[in-house]
C-alpha cells in the first residue's frame, strides 16, 4: 500500500505550545500540524513486479473528520501488517509516520500508535537518494517527465489538497516500481506495464482531475498494447 498525507498547520493546537527560541525541528513542526487529506493506493504485486487488484481511495476534511481519517489509516496499516504487506511512502520516515504518531497522541489515541509499526515500511525518497541528497517528490517527477501538481487546477481548499494527495500517491507508486525494477535488473517494460495496470484501474473508477489524468494517460504507457 502506498500512503500520502496532506497536512497543514493546526492553529488551535499550536496555540497551546509556548514558542521557543530559534527555529523548530522537523519533528516539532510536524507535531503542530493537522491532517487535511489522505490517499492510499492498494495493490497486489508478484515477484516479477506484475501488478493487479489496484484500488485508489482518498478523503479530506471536506467529507470526513480528521479523527475518522486517522483511524482509517491506522486500521489500514494494522491490516497490512497482519497480511505481511509493505507500506510505501515518499518521505514518510521523516514526515508521514512521525506526524501520525504525534497526531494520535495529541488526540488521545495512544492505544493506536503501535499499529503504525505493524507493516514493513519503504521510504521511496530514501531509495532514490544518492550522494546523501534526498530529492523532493516534485523535483524527481519533473526529472523523470512525470506530471507535477499544478495548483489552482482543482476546486480549491481541502478538496484540492485531496486531489494533490491522489496524484502524489500514484506518482509514488510509479517511482516505487521504477526503483525496485532497477534493483531486480528488470527492464523498463515491466515498470510501464505495472504503471498501465494502475492507470487502468484508477481510470475505471472515475477521474476528473487534469493533473492525475496526465499521469494516467502518460505517453509512456499509452503506447503499450
What length does the chain have?
225
How confident is the model over 108-119, as a mean pLDDT?
A: 87
What local confidence, expressed as pLDDT, does residue 136 receive? 92
pLDDT at 157: 86
Name the CATH topology of 2-222. Nucleotidyltransferase; domain 5 (3.30.420)
Torsion of the alpha carbons at 189, 191, 195 and 198, rounded to the nearest 10: 110
pTM score of the predicted model:
0.88
Task: Tell me how far CA of residue 111 lies from CA of 67, 68, 77, 94, 195, in angstroms.
Answer: 14, 15, 14, 22, 37
Tell me what the mean pLDDT of segment 42-54 comes to.
Answer: 94
Say what the pLDDT of residue 114 is: 87
Per the DSSP assignment, residues forming a β-bridge with 133 are 130
pLDDT at 21: 42
Does residue 22 carry a pLDDT above 70? no
pLDDT in tens, 197-225: 999 999 999 998 899 999 999 998 876 44
**Cell output for 122:** 519503504
Q: Is the pLDDT of residue 65 over 70?
A: yes
Q: What is the pLDDT of residue 123?
A: 97
CA 191 – CA 188 distance, rounded (Å): 5
Percent of the chain with pLDDT over 70: 86
CA angle 1, 163, 141 (to 5 degrees): 70
Q: Residue ranges per domain, the chain?
A: 2-222
**For residues 43-61, average pLDDT:** 94
DSSP string, the chain: -EEEEEEEE-HHHHTTSPPPSSPPPHHHHHHTEEEEEEEEEEEEE-TT--EEEEEEEEEETTTS-HHHHHHHHHHHHHHHHHTT-EEEESSIIIIIHHHHHHHHHHTT-GGGGGGGGSSEEEEHHHHH-BTTB---HHHHHHHTT-----TTSS-SHHHHHHHHHHHHHHHHHHHHHHHHHHHHT--HHHHHHHHHHHHHHHHHH----HHHHHHHT-HHHHT--
Statement: residue 25 has pLDDT above 70: no
Strand 86-89 versus strand 120-123 pairing type: parallel
**Would you state the pLDDT for residue 186?**
92
pLDDT at 221 (0 to 100): 87
Are 123 and 89 within 8 A, CB to CB?
yes
Band of residue 116 on the pLDDT scale cut at 50, 70, 90: confident
Amino acid at each position: 500500500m502506498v500512503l500520502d498525507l496532506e497536512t497543514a498547520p493546526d492553529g488551535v493546537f499550536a496555540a497551546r505550545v509556548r514558542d521557543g527560541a530559534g527555529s523548530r525541528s522537523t519533528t516539532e513542526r510536524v507535531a503542530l500540524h493537522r491532517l487535511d487529506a489522505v490517499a492510499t493506493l492498494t495493490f497486489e504485486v508478484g515477484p516479477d513486479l506484475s501488478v493487479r487488484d489496484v484500488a485508489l481511495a482518498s478523503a479530506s476534511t471536506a467529507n470526513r473528520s480528521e479523527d475518522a481519517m486517522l483511524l482509517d489509516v491506522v486500521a489500514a496499516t494494522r491490516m497490512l501488517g497482519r497480511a505481511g504487506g509493505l507500506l510505501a511512502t515518499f518521505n514518510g520516515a521523516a514526515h508521514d509516520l512521525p506526524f501520525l504518531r504525534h497526531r494520535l497522541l495529541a488526540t488521545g489515541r495512544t492505544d493506536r500508535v503501535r499499529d503504525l509499526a505493524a507493516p514493513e515500511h519503504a521510504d521511496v525518497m530514501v531509495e532514490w537518494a544518492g550522494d546523501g541528497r534526498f530529492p523532493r517528490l516534485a523535483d524527481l517527477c519533473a526529472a523523470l517527465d512525470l506530471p507535477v501538481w499544478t495548483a489552482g487546477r482543482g476546486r480549491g481548499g481541502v478538496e484540492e489538497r485531496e486531489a494533490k494527495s491522489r496524484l502524489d500517491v500514484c506518482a509514488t507508486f510509479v517511482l516505487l516500481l521504477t526503483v525496485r525494477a532497477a534493483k531486480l535488473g528488470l527492464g523498463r517494460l515491466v515498470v510501464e506495464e505495472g504503471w498501465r495496470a494502475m492507470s487502468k484501474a484508477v481510470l475505471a473508477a472515475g477521474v476528473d482531475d487534469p493533473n492525475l489524468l496526465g499521469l494516467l494517460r502518460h505517453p509512456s504507457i499509452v503506447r503499450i498494447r
